[in-house]
Amino acid sequence: MKLLSKKLSKKLLVVAGLGIGVSSVFLGLTKRVQADDIPQTINVANIGTPATTSFSYATGHETGPGSGAAHGLMPIREAGTGDWLFCIEWSKPAPSNEQISRRYQAMPAVQWLVNNFYSGHRFRSLGQGDKGDYWLYQSVIHWTADPNDHASWGGTGAIQDVLDRLNPSVREKVVSLHNEALKHNDESSSEIVTNNHNLGFDPSNLEINKDNLQGNTYKKTFTLKSENMSHVKVWLKNAPSGVTLTGKDGAGVNFNDVWNNTGLQINIPYKVNAEKDSYNFTVATKGNWEKTSKVAWIYSGNDNSQKVAKQVVKAVSVPIDTETDMNVTVKPAKGHLAFTKKGTGNNKTEVLKDTEFTLTGGDFTQKAKADGSGNVVFNNLPLGRDYKLAETNQPNKYYRSMYQAIIGDFNGDQPKKDLNKGTIYNNKTHQKFIIHKKDAQGNALEGAEFVLVRKDQAKANITPEEAKKIAYRKVGDQLVEGHQEQAPYIGTSDKNGNVIFDMVALPDSVANHYYAVEVKSPKNYTLSQNSVELLADKNSANVIEGELGDTTNPLPATGSEKLLIVAVGGIVLVALGGGALYFKQKVTK
């Protein structure tokens, strides 16, 4: 730094203070400091004269004007702030009491020295306060900025030329500080970054499940979190077709410039991948870091005056190529179908255990069986389709009808997730009758033959001949009406007097009058003139019973020989009686 007059023998020192204060770390898209916000000009205070303000710390302590100490300097400050300014040219006069303009960013080593001076953790210190360290750092900046500038300026000398005139302790600090500065030869190692950058989502992982199904769409919100970021983009990766990204509650968002704390929402039509138990995709984001850092900027007035370095805050937008991802796990809601399977028999209390069902919908098939209480359950049913429920096996032989239905509740704009259809009844289609045949004394009577007929009237009188014509016939394993080309089905009482008509087909009517008509009596018994009336319908008990008691005693003997003897004896008695009467009448005459 050249003195202001030829008589000046001290070099002026210019120290750059913190021109732009660093405010608290901003979040999101708060106002960003751009490079153009660095002051265009600064005002240098009046630096005085060498006779009054020059100083040196070559001896390890301050010496004033006229001391003849090596590398004498003058303190230069910024007007208004009092911040130190550092000059970088030893051979030119320093600015004083004037306005100077911004030129360019200082070389990394000089920048590191300026920043280290203001860091609060100085690499080297003379232990003489800021003024002593200012002399130390300014001396090294002279050497580092232009090591080939050897102007002597009346013997005060460039610092690299007067090292032998320095106190050994001072010399060691000057040299070690210079060597350390030369290590910082790039921007990243010489700047002081004043802010961090963060970009991500809250939460960092997202799960979407049945609880998020609203109408026909899954909706789940999350929040973008950014710190010191701009032009943040958010997009879906590997998401199935139909999945969309909106603002919370459907609000519009510019997904090329999403702000901090913006609420976002994933929307998934419920039919997407409904058949899967789970699937994944990603929400990704990246943007620009609005980086701020402390650097040294060079200012000067004209080519004849000293250039000085000032610490400023520089802002630059740095694209961050690395993406931040949020994994999204979707567990589609599944349908649940339940019902109880019963029959109408026993007044609708008949549990149809082990009834088998098949539920089909598109390529989906599931089977289920009624448990001991008749409960049938289908789980994990994909939503978004109609299902056909079909009864495929009914082990109860008295229920030949098979239930079928279309289940549309898991489809449409408001699909259900849980459906209970209550009790599903099968109408009883067949009935079992038992007739108890007894004699006059109430004993079981074996060998009586009956037919079964149905009449649409109560207390009907039906002759055996008529009964045989309209009686039930056996077709396959069931008793049915019609089929007169076949012989009527005959039920014969067993040793316990029981006559069984099983698997009698029930017509679809409210009440049915059935009659068991005796068509052949047991041996030695007369044919009963009465029939047994039975009532049955689809709600009847499993077994309906009736009783027919004989009102006559058995004949005294059985077999044709005894009957012949009785008949002949009767004829003889009649003949004898007639002959006696004739003889008597003849004698009288």
The DSSP secondary structure of 472-540, one letter per residue, reads: -EEETTEEES--TTSPPP-EE--TT-EEEEEEEEPPSSS-EEEEEEEEEPPTT-PPPS-EEEEEE-TTS
Q: According to the model, what pLDDT value does residue 37 have?
A: 72
Residue-level pLDDT at 577:
46
Query: Contact 410/383 with Cβ under 8 angstroms?
Result: yes
Q: Show the tokens assigned to 521.
A: 């009596």
Structure tokens at 545: 């019973």
- CATH number attached to the domain at 430-549: 2.60.40.10
Q: Say which CATH topology domain 335-426 has.
A: Immunoglobulin-like (2.60.40)
Strand 73-76, strand 263-269: pairing: unpaired
Tally of residues, the chain: 589
Q: List pLDDT tens digits, range 41-82.
A: 999 999 887 767 889 999 999 999 888 889 988 889 999 999
Read off the amino acid at residue 528. Answer: S
CATH architecture of 198-292+318-330: Sandwich (2.60)
Identify the pLDDT of residue 67.
84
* C-alpha–C-alpha distance, residues 24 and 33, integer Å: 12
- pTM (whole model) above 0.85: no
Q: What is the pLDDT of residue 154?
A: 65
For the purposes of burial, counting CB atoms within 10 Å of the CB of 307, is it exposed (0-12), middle (13-18) or buried (19 or more)?
A: buried
Dist. CA 367–CA 172, nearest whole Å: 90
As given in the structure block, the two tokens for residue 250 are 């459907």
Displacement of CA 414 from its chain's centroid (Å): 18
Structure confidence at residue 463 (pLDDT): 93
**Who contacts 103 (Cβ-Cβ below 8 Å, separation ≥6)?**
297, 298, 299, 300, 307
pLDDT digits (tens, 9 = 90+) for 424-472: 999 999 999 999 999 999 999 999 999 999 998 888 889 999 999 999 9
Q: Which helix (H) or strand (E) holds 376?
A: strand 375-382
List the Cα angle 121/122/127 in 5-degree steps: 110
Residue whose token pair is 């390890």: 60
Q: Hey, which residues does 500 pair with through a beta bridge?
A: 434
Q: What is the pLDDT of residues 354-381, one digit of tens each?
A: 999 999 999 999 999 999 999 999 999 9
CATH 2.60.40.10 placement within the chain: 198-292+318-330, 335-426, 430-549
Supply the pLDDT for residue 61. 96
Whole-number mean pLDDT of the chain? 88
- Position 302 scores a pLDDT of 82
Tens place of pLDDT for every residue, the chain, 589 residues? Answer: 433 333 333 333 332 233 323 333 333 333 343 445 789 999 999 988 776 788 999 999 999 988 888 998 888 999 999 999 999 988 888 889 999 999 999 999 999 999 999 999 999 999 999 999 999 999 999 999 999 988 887 667 899 999 999 999 999 999 999 999 999 999 999 999 999 999 999 999 999 999 999 999 999 999 999 999 999 999 999 999 999 999 999 999 999 999 999 999 999 999 999 999 999 999 999 999 999 999 999 999 987 888 999 999 999 999 999 999 999 999 999 999 999 999 999 999 999 999 999 999 999 999 999 999 999 999 999 999 999 999 999 999 999 999 999 999 999 999 999 999 999 999 999 999 999 999 999 999 999 999 999 998 888 889 999 999 999 999 999 999 999 999 999 999 999 999 999 999 999 878 899 999 999 999 989 999 899 999 999 999 999 999 998 876 665 544 444 333 333 344 433 344 444 434 334 333 3
